[in-house]
Amino acid sequence: MPLSHGGFMLRSQLARFPLTTIVIAQFFGTSLWFSVNGVGQALQQTIGLSTGDLGLLTIAVQAGFITGTLTIATTGLADRVRANRLFAGSAVAGAVVNVAFILAADQLAAGALLRFLTGLCLAGIYPLGMKLVVSWTPRQAGAALGWLVGMLTLGTASPHLLRGLMLALPWQWPLVLASALSLVAAALIYTLGVGPHLPQTPPSGPPWAVARAFKQRHFRAAALGYFGHSWELYAFWALVPLLVARELARIDISLSSVAWLSFVVMAVGTPGCVLAGKASRHYGSAAVARTALATSGALCLFYPLLGSAPPLLLIALLLVWGVSVIADSAQFSALASTHAPPARLGAALAGMNAIGFALTIPAIALVTTLWADQGLAVLWWLLPGPALGLIAMRQAGRA
């Protein structure tokens, strides 16, 4: 549909600040990701969901995201459909499905299906957001993607903030607001359009040709590092409310503060991503990614050993972990985008996301299932991710 004069004016204004537009839209769109986790305590109290049930709902989102990213990668949709249209359509569909969860929250199977569909929609938001960033600012991919992943982090944390702001209101309100934000994201990206720095012709050859990207040594190293990071990241985020509640209970602070502090622990990853992006200009994305991965890996190892330490110390370590656990993500994506085939960039990033997020499912299942029996010791299940990621990144050199 042709844009009206007003539409052209708005697009020209947004195009003056494309990165700002994309990262705000990413923040709004990804608020759907943990929208149910943000009201998890309320669902446990009002509907009777268990920690395992909440883990299942989280896994359903991840499974939907994996299915979606595999679909757009293997069918070529990621590169054959204009990125802004796929992003906008996914954000609108995600908003509708997220609201529909309210009607099915007391039916675990139906709720899990709707969360699966939410993840399916997110597959058209996150990797397409990365492609849009590269299409507008290809020469500053590390720093630009740092902002983008920072907004993903803030969007993922935002349900805890929304719940903290709306404690006196029914649990449905944060979900409705998250859907409203996703609709705004759709409007912003649809109007902005695609940047000028990508091939304008559809890629040739079969869609599965994207697998050739993994034959490139530097792309493969970045992807393997990303896979290790993925094993740890979402499982840690799923545990954040439990880890926070444990420490607040030890210092006799009301558990109503769990939502606020959980948001802070996750949201500090946003400045971490931005600072990592700036550091990548001086030290290279590979070095920054290795440093962040080593830091979060060390916390996987030592945090359980410090379980009897003062609660404030452990909360401080959670904040450090919140920064380091996500700071490497954009740098892995920047490395991968640099070495992926330009005509298959969307599919390559979507395929890498699909595999990485597939690894989050067993990690989330392990920690949410074993938390009641093992407590802090479940964090050791996360350690293989950073360890194997660091081994893989030895191949990346300085990039």
Of the given ranges (74-78, 225-229, 387-391), which has the lowest mean pLDDT?
74-78
Residue 270 lies in a domain: yes
The count of domains in the chain is 1
Residue of 278, 333, 272 whose CA lies nearest to 130: 333
Structure tokens at 329: 């993500």
> What's the helix, strand, coil split of the chain in %, to 5?
85, 0, 15
What percentage of residues in the chain have a pLDDT greater than 70?
Answer: 86
Tell me what pLDDT residue 381 has.
96
Note whether residue 89 is domain-resident.
yes
Write out pLDDT tens, residues 104-142: 888 889 999 999 999 999 989 987 887 787 777 766 666
Name the pTM for this structure: 0.74
Residue pair 275/153 in contact (Cβ under 8 Å)? The answer is: no
Q: Is residue 313 part of a domain?
A: yes
Beta strand spans in the chain (E): none
Is pLDDT larger for residue 224 or for residue 149?
A: 224
Question: What CATH code is carried by the domain that includes residue 72?
Answer: 1.20.1250.20
Those residues with Cβ within 8 angstroms of residue 51's Cβ, 6 or more apart along the chain or in another chain: 44, 242, 368, 371, 372
109: exposed, middle or buried (Cβ count in 10 Å: 0-12, 13-18, 19+): exposed
Position with higher pLDDT, 362 vs 44: 362
146, pLDDT greater than 80: no
Per-residue model confidence as pLDDT tens digits over 331-365: 888 888 777 766 666 677 777 878 888 898 899 88
pLDDT at 161 over 80: no
Domain that holds residue 10: 5-195+210-393
Residue listed under structure tokens 């802090």? 376
Locate 247 and state its tokens: 């420490």
* Nearest partner of 69 among 365, 352, 359, 338, judged by Cα: 352
- Is residue 384 assigned to a domain? yes
pLDDT range class, residue 398, cuts 50, 70, 90? very low
In a domain, 202, yes or no: no
* Residue 91 falls inside a structural domain: yes
Q: How confident is the model at residue 399 (pLDDT cuts 50, 70, 90)?
A: very low
Q: In angstroms, rounded to a whole number, what is the distance separating the alpha carbons of residues 39 and 318?
A: 21
CA distances from 168 to 32, 264, 349 (A): 21, 20, 41
Q: Would you say residue 201 lies in a domain?
A: no
pLDDT of residue 293: 94
Q: Which of 8, 181, 185, 222 minimizes the C-alpha distance to 87?
A: 185
